[in-house]
Amino acid sequence: MHTRRRGSSGSDKPTADEPPEWSDVDAENVEERVVELAEQGHDPSQIGIKLRDEGVTGTPVPDVKLATGKKITTILEEHDATPEIPEDLYNLMERAVRLREHVQENPQDYQNKRALQNTESKVRRLVDYYRGDALEADFTYSYDVAVEIVE
């Protein structure tokens, strides 16, 4: 979006309709573990990585959606364990706060001033997307709001 690159090319995730034969995890156990990790403060992407690496009762979970039939965020919604701000928006706000602090300390850093403008533009665009659903209808982005949320 805000780069000189010409798109991204890479491998796609292999299509699969059912979990691999070596993964014999119970869907209920996976859901319980997802909710447990969310209560410990992990983001949905971190939950997926932890389940892939550590698994449930020692058995790795290659794909939560194949094992349970639901995405991690759907499982969290069903158990009222969703984060107050969507993960992608939170990460962009965190980046914007770091960039703003850096630019205030280094006013001659024009490259990062531009990066801050681009990041805040992405944040505003995401806020418009989430407003009314995952965010309150009157939510507006500002640096002060981002600092309160991030810290």
Which residue type occupies 43? D
In this prediction, residue 71 has a pLDDT band, given cuts at 50, 70 and 90, of very high
Closest CA to 116 of 135, 88, 143: 143
Q: What is the pLDDT of residues 117-144, one digit of tens each?
A: 999 999 999 999 999 889 999 999 999 9
CATH class of 87-150: mainly alpha
23-62 as b/e, with b when 16 or more CB fall inside 10 Å? bebeeebbbebbbebbeeebbbeebbebbeeebbeebebe
Which residue type occupies 143? Y
What backbone torsions phi and psi does residue 133 show, to the nearest 5 degrees? -100, -75
Q: What is the pLDDT of residues 21-60, one digit of tens each?
A: 888 888 899 999 999 999 999 999 999 999 999 888 788 8
Taking the domains of the chain in order of start, what are their residue ranges?
Answer: 27-78, 87-150
